[in-house]
Structure 1
Amino acid sequence: MDWSMVDQLVQKWLVEARGRILTSLQQRLTIESKSNANDLVTNIDRETEQFFIEKVKDHFPNHRLLGEEGFGDDVQTLEGIVWIVDPIDGTMNFVHQQRNFAISIGIYEEGVGKLGYIYDVMNDELYHAENGKGAFYNGEQLPILQPVELKEAIVGLNTTWVVPNKRVNHERLIPIVKQARGTRSYGSAALEMAYIAVDTLDAYITMRLSPWDFAAGMVILKELGGICTNLEGKPLSLTDSSPVVVARPGLHDELMNIINR
C-alpha cells in the first residue's frame, strides 16, 4: 500500500469534511440521544461518517471501516486494512459550544497503526502521523516526548467513573489529582490525546473509551514515544471499549503505580 498516497487523500477529505461541517452550523441540527440522555448524536455525525465511508469504499473497496455511528462494516478482527473513524469526537461540545471537537481517523493494517489523524475542525489544526515517519502538527514535525514527573504534569481527566456492568472506584485516582500540578477536561478524547503530542497536556485518563476515540491518537503518540494502555498496563484493544491511560514516558509508570497501588 502506498501510504503517502493515502495520506494525501485523507488530508484532502478532511478539508472537504470541514467545509461541510462549517456549512452545517448555519442550519438547524437534528439532535438525538443514544445510550443515555447525555450520549448525543446529530445528523452531522451521521452525514460525516457516511461521507468518509463513501470516499473509502470508492477508492479502496477492499478496506473495511469501523465507525462510531454504525454505518461501516461489522469489524470483529483487525485483519487486512481497517479504518477506525469518529466523525465528530466531542459531539456534546459540537452541539453546545460549536468548538472543542474533532474528526478522528486511525488506519490499521493487520492491527498495526499506519496513519492517524486528529483534526480540530474549528481551529483548522491537524495532528497526524505516519508509521515510522513521525508525527506532525499542521505539517511541522513534532519532537519526541520527554519525561516529566507527576508533580509537574497537567493531566487530562474524564470524570465519568461508570463502566458497563462495573463501577470503578474513583478513589484510586484521588492521589493523582492531589499530586499533579493541575487537571483539565476538554470533552474530546481525541483532542486530549492530541494535546499530549504538543505538550499542552502530559497525560490523559478515562474510565471508558471506544476504539474510534483513541485509534488515531495511538498512532500519533506512538511516533512520539507516548504510552497508551488500559488500567492494568496492557495494550488497548481496537475492537472493544476500555479504560485508557495515556501519558509521556516515565509519567505513565508513575501513574500506573498510583492506580494499582
Structure 2
Amino acid sequence: MMNWHEVDTYAKQWITEAGEKIRESFKEVLTIQTKSNADDLVTNMDKETEQFFIRNINHTYPSHKILGEEGFGHKLTDLEGIIWIIDPIDGTMNFVHQQRNFAISVAVFENGIGKLGYIYDVVHDELYHAIKGEGAYVNDARIPDLRDTNLSEAVIGINATWVTENTRINPQILAPLIKDVRGTRSYGSAALEIAYVVTGRLDAYMTMRLSSWDFAAGIVLIEEVGGRLTNLEGKPVNLLEENSVLVAKTKIHDEIISSYILKK
C-alpha cells in the first residue's frame, strides 16, 4: 500500500525546489517558443521544470507514470496505476510578461482517483495542498469548507477567449450570467483560478477547454472543501482528454448549469 504522506513530503520538497529555480530565472533571459499558435508560449523554464520533476519521480518511484504538459512524460491510454499529472508553469504568458500570476500544478492519482493535489503560487510563496480525506491547506493554514453564496453576490472567473458560437457557452448564454453575478475576473492561470475558488476568493471558475494538467490538482483540492469540479454539462471530467470545466461552490455550480448552460 502506498504511503501517501511519504509521497506528500517528496512532492512538497520538489515543488519548493522548482519554485526557487523559477524565481531565480527572473534574472535571466528566457528562451521563448510558441506551440499551437503565437499566443501559446513555452519557455526553457517550462521544459526544465517538467524534466526536473520527471527525474526525481523516476528515481524515487520508478513504477509511477507521469503525464506532463510539455510531453516529457508517458503517453497514457488509461488511468491504471499511480500517475503524476504535472503542469510545470500554468500561466506561461503571465510568467513571460508579468513574472506573476502563474503556478506550478501537480497532482497524483491512483487508478483514476485523486490522492494528492498541489497548486503553488510561486511569486507569493503560497502552496495550496491536499491529501484526499485530510482537508485542504494553504501553507500551514487549513482552508475552511466553502459556504454557499447567492449568484447575485458571486464573483466568477471566466476565460472569455473560449467563447464561440460553436459551443454551449456562447454570448447568448454568457451575457445573462455576467449580468446576474456581482462581478467577473480573469487571471490567466486556470490552476490559480481554481485555487481561488477553493479558498473562496472566487465563487466559480469556468472555461471551455482545459487539459488535465490544468485542473487535476484542483479536483483533489475542491473535493476537500465541499465544492464541485465537472465539465459544463455537470458530468465528470476525463483526465485523458481536453474538457470544458466548471468549478464552483455547490449551489452556484448547479445553478449555473441548470439555469444558464443547459437551459432550453
Q: Give runs of ≥4 in structure 1 deviating > 3 Å.
A: none
Partner residue in 2 for 1:224: 225
Instruction: Write the letter of the residue equivalent to 1:161.
Output: W
Counterpart for residue 202 of structure 1: 203
SS in 2 for 1:62: coil
Q: Which amino acid aligns with 1:259?
A: I
Structure 1 residue 212, shift from structure 2 partner: 0.3
Residues 1:39 and 2:40 are matched in the alignment: yes
Structure 1 match to 2:262: 260
Question: For 1:118-151, what per-residue CA distance to the aligned partner results, in whole angstroms no more than 9, with x for missing partners?
Answer: 0000000000110010100112111111111110
> In structure 2, the residue corresponding to 1:234 is in which secondary structure?
coil
1:155 is matched with which residue?
Answer: 156
Partner of 2:147: 146
Aligned pair in 2 of structure 1 residues 79, 49: CA closer, same or farther (>3 Å)? same
Quote the offset at 1:170 in angstroms. Answer: 3.2
Written as runs of structure 1 = structure 2, the 5 A alignment for 1:1-261 is 1-161=2-162, 166-168=166-168, 169-257=170-258, 258-261=260-263
Q: Aligned in 2, Cα 1:232/1:167: closer, same or farther, shift over 3 Å? A: closer
SS in 2 for 1:28: coil
1:191: Cα distance to partner? Answer: 0.2
Q: Match of 1:117, SS?
A: strand
SS at match of 1:172: helix
Q: Distance in 2 between matches of 1:3 and 1:146?
A: 29
Once residues 122 and 219 of structure 1 are traced to their aligned partners in structure 2, the CA distance between those partners, rounded to angstroms, is: 23
Question: Is residue 127–residue 194 contact of structure 1 (8 Å, CA) maintained in 2?
Answer: yes
Change (3 A) 1:25 1:156: same
Once the two structures are superposed, what CA deviation does each residue of 1:151-206 show, in whole Å capped at 9, x if it has no partner? 0100000011268xx55523211111000000000000000000011111000010
- For the residue of structure 2 that corresponds to 1:245, the secondary structure is strand
Partner of 1:116: helix, strand, or coil?
Answer: strand
Q: In 2, Cα distance between the equivalents of 1:224 and 1:187?
A: 23
| Preserved contact between residue 161 and residue 170 of structure 1 (Cα < 8 Å) | no
The C-alpha deviation readout for 1:74-128, integer Å capped at 9, x for no partner, is: 0121100000000000000000000000000010000000000000000000001
Distance in 1, matches of 2:176 and 2:78, equals 37
Mapped to 1, the partners of 2:211 and 2:171 lie a distance apart of 20
Q: Cα RMSD (Å) of the superposition?
A: 1.3
Q: Percent identity of the aligned residues? A: 56
Residues 105 and 215 in structure 1, CA contact (< 8 A), matched pair in contact too: yes
Amino acid at match of 1:34: K
Contact kept, 8 Å, 2:163 with 2:171, in 1: the verdict is no
AA in 1 matched with 2:183:
G
- TM-score calculated relative to the size of structure 1: 0.97
Does the 8 A contact of 1:205 with 1:246 survive in 2?
Answer: yes
CA distance in 2, matches of 1:229, 1:18: 29
Helix, strand or coil: the match of 2:161?
coil
User: 1:198-226 CA deviation, whole Å, 9 max, x = no partner?
Assistant: 11100001011110000001110011111
How far apart are the structure 1 equivalents of 2:239 and 2:123?
27
The residue type paired with residue 106 of structure 1 is A
Deviation at 1:36? 0.5
- How far apart, CA to CA, are the structure 1 residues paired with 2:171 and 2:79? 32
SS in 1 for 2:160: coil
Per the TM alignment, residue 249 of structure 1 is displaced from its structure 2 partner at its CA by 1.1
Tell me, in whole angstroms, the C-alpha distance in 2 between the residues paired with 1:254 and 1:162. 20
Q: Secondary structure at the match of 1:126?
A: strand
Residue type matched to 2:37 in 1? N
